[in-house]
Chain A
């Protein structure tokens, strides 16, 4: 019994990683010719910010649902498959809100619902923005809004190396699986998982150091500069 239990966890982990990777790195929608893709990123960022401020200020759940329906409408006008969109947003909702709001469900149900709805609407709009705009353009736009380049560069690097790590985790998983042939005994599996997390941590420190060296080597001195275009 312990066997299948563990395999289930492993499969869940790899599935989550894949989903995460696909979610963050999806590019196909950004390149389609839909409604939102047509707007310049500056306009989109400002509008999304306005909507988010609106959701935080209103206390009406009905109004929030209207916002949400509009979001779904825009998504479909932007050629995003609704099923795909819902799956993406609903994955992030529990992470962001459920655990925070959980205690409130027992005290004031209305406040908890309001909170979760706000999170739902805000994340939906943010995901809509990120789906319809190539991330390199988002970063450039942040720069044009006067966000310091160090911050923009750090964001860009996070994005870049999350992908690398998703691949490292996936490859380690496949390597372990090919060595032990799929079925891993529970105890042994636990050991491997611990070792994997430790080595991942080690690797991230090492990678961090090496990237910094690579930056130093090409003359980085704390103030990133960009090409005028």
Chain B
């Protein structure tokens, strides 16, 4: 049996040593899984993705990628670092931080160029992605001229072009219109169907059944409280309510106010 893609044991992380962001995380993700990290705002989803992408390293506990321990030292090895960056890609929550080049095209090809992928191959992939995402008329524009949805598409393209084995997505559907959202979900599906691993952070209950087969729920103590298949966890209303994941609707009946959780049956 092959080793899990990611294996985290009793992992803790805090910003500047005083703002706790993750506590006692135990997480195992196998190759080819399609997982969502679900949690309310501030439960540590983005931080966890940054840990998985080895941008920050744990204060305590351990993280292994395909059996290899990840820490600052191993990333001093240029060969290992490049290999890891080729195999794992992260789409950031804020597309503005990911689009730092003068033109959209330069942004999309930035990753593969840094990773030493052959120029011809890069041009081929670029052409292909631009077609699939329908962004041909954007390639020569400047990132600051784009709408939020367009920026999101381009930042996703800039990671997909690396063709990583593991795709990490931070709130990918936030701010997208329904059609673009659909397009993105189909793209994630295709990506997963090629045997790749997809890990998505979201607080949006509606998107979960589309984004993932398995679920990890983060709570306000910033640890994982529940893990399992989507359909089991999403049926557990108490669990969802405890973790601030259910919309509370408030409306009037006969002159008095009623509050009740919004039901979204994942049919």
Contacts and interface: CB of A to CB of B under 8 A. Distances in A.
Interface string B133-150: 000000000111000000
Nearest to A161: B100
Contact of A221 (B78, B94, B119): B78
Chain A contact residues: helix, strand, loop or mixed: helix
A210 B109 CA distance: 19
Given A160-B144, A164-B144, A215 B100 contact: yes
B110 interface: yes
Contacts of A161: 100
Interface string A9-35: 000000000000000010000000000
Contact of A211 (B82, B97, B123, B142): B97
Interface stretch (B1-9, B85-93, B241-249): B85-93
A163 B85 contact: no
A93 B50 CA distance: 46
Interface string B93-125: 010111111110110011101110001001100
B102 A159 contact: yes
A34 to B, nearest CB: 21
Interface in A169-214: 207, 210-211, 213-214
Nearest to B97: A210
Nearest to A137: B102
A217 B90 contact: yes
Nearest to B113: A225
B100 A211 contact: yes
B130 to A, nearest CB: 14
Interface in B184-226: none
A153 to B, nearest CB: 8
Contacts of A218: 85, 89, 110-111, 114-115, 158-159, 162
A155 to B, nearest CB: 9
Nearest to B53: A217
B122 A139 contact: no
Chain A: interface size category = 20 to 34
A219 interface: yes
Contact of A164 (B53, B96, B105, B123): B96
A136 B103 contact: yes
B100 A157 contact: yes
Contacts of A207: 96-97
Contacts of B82: 219, 221
A63 interface: no
A94 interface: no
A217 B89 contact: yes
Q: Is the interface on chain B under 10, 10 to 19, 20 to 34, or 35 or more residues?
A: 35 or more
B102 A219 contact: no
B114 A136 contact: no
A216 B105 CA distance: 19
Contacts of B115: 218-219
A156 to B, nearest CB: 4
Contacts of A226: 106, 113
Nearest to B115: A219
A95 interface: no
A214 B97 contact: yes
A160 B97 CA distance: 11
A169 to B, nearest CB: 15
A210 B122 contact: no
Interface in B7-54: 50, 53
Nearest to A164: B96
Interface in A58-78: none
Contacts of B113: 225-227
A34 B231 CA distance: 64
B119 A228 contact: yes
Interface of A: 25, 135-136, 139, 153, 156-157, 159-161, 163-164, 207, 210-211, 213-221, 224-228
Interface of B: 50, 53, 55, 78, 81-82, 85-86, 89-90, 92, 94, 96-103, 105-106, 109-111, 113-115, 119, 122-123, 142-144, 158-159, 162
Given A153-B101, A160-B102, A227-B105, 5 more contacts: A136-B103, A213-B55, A218-B159, A219-B115, A221-B78
16 contacts: A25-B144, A135-B102, A136-B103, A156-B101, A160-B99, A160-B101, A160-B144, A164-B96, A215-B100, A216-B85, A217-B90, A218-B85, A219-B111, A221-B114, A226-B106, A227-B123
